Chains A and B, each alone.
Chain A
Amino acid sequence: MWILARVSGLSASAALGISLLTGVALRSAVLDWLATNRAVRATHEFTAVLWIPLGLLHLVFLLLDSNVRATLRVVDLVVPFQSSIGPLALGLGTLSFDLFVIVAITGWLRRRINPVAWRWLHRLSYLACALLFLHALLGGSDFSSPQVSAITWSVAAVLAVLSLARIAWGRLSAGDSRELRR
């Protein structure tokens, strides 16, 4: 279970990376060269089918692990910074999980929520991703390895640059993105 929990955690991170990339691309037009916004949006919405089950499997496998179960309670997966071991590292993961739950639920209820409120709620995913990265970094598992560390830092750096560009310059119009490609 310990191995499965780590594998599902890593693959959930990969799926979340794709989700964040397609989400940022929707607003920054960085994938305009590859596909239409409609296709990128469909992919972004589809990635929830990937990262939500993998993230839940990560939690389930942790709870099923006999060693972890002795120290981690179910409530520690929902209420952050309460666990007796690694409270900061695990608490950041819990907080990230809570934020992703909010983002996922409000994503499904988008049509029923005020657009401005929904946009701000959806922006919590940036914070959740940053907290998830810190959770993986401080949690230690696998990040001590150069292979895992190099890949994850590279992906995180790309996503951070795109996110900051999105915050700084907002959405590029189709004309702007065509100009940039010339």
Chain B
Amino acid sequence: MRGVPAWALKGSAVCLTVLATFAAAGYVGGHVRDRAAPLRPSLHPDTGQVALGPGIQATSSAPVTETHES
């Protein structure tokens, strides 16, 4: 028996990889937020939404400037 030719095996490998890519895209597209992934965007613990923290945080120290009104 000669068996399956090399070009058919290569074609099958490409088809399987493309199929896996589409399947992965379908799955990942439906599961964008993954709580378990270490590199995923940080999520709010209650809502599960992506938590975007402000770049400048409010301080608890007393103000050091005064306005005309104060």
Contacts and interface: CB of A to CB of B under 8 A. Distances in A.
B38 A43 contact: no
Interface in A1-56: 2-3, 6-8, 10-11, 14-15, 18, 22, 34-36, 38-40, 42-43, 46-47, 50, 54
7 shortest A-B CB distances, which residue pairs?
A86-B38, A140-B36, A14-B20, A10-B24, A141-B37, A11-B21, A35-B3
B2, B14, B35 interface centre (most CB from chain A within 10 Å): B14
Give the interface size class of chain B: 20 to 34
Contacts, number: 110
Contacts of A34: 3-4, 9
Interface of B: 2-6, 9-10, 13-14, 16-17, 20-21, 24-25, 27-29, 31-32, 34-41
Contacts of A15: 13, 17, 20
A15 to B, nearest CB: 5
Given A15-B17, A50-B14, A50-B17, A89 B9 contact: no
Main secondary structure of the interface of A (DSSP, over half): helix
A42 B10 CA distance: 8
A143 B36 contact: yes
A38 B14 CA distance: 18
B39 A142 contact: no
Interface of A: 2-3, 6-8, 10-11, 14-15, 18, 22, 34-36, 38-40, 42-43, 46-47, 50, 54, 62, 65, 67-68, 71-72, 85-86, 89-90, 139-145, 147-148
Given A14-B16, A68-B39, A139-B38, A147 B27 contact: yes
Nearest to A71: B39
A59 B29 CA distance: 19
Contacts of B34: 6, 140-142, 144
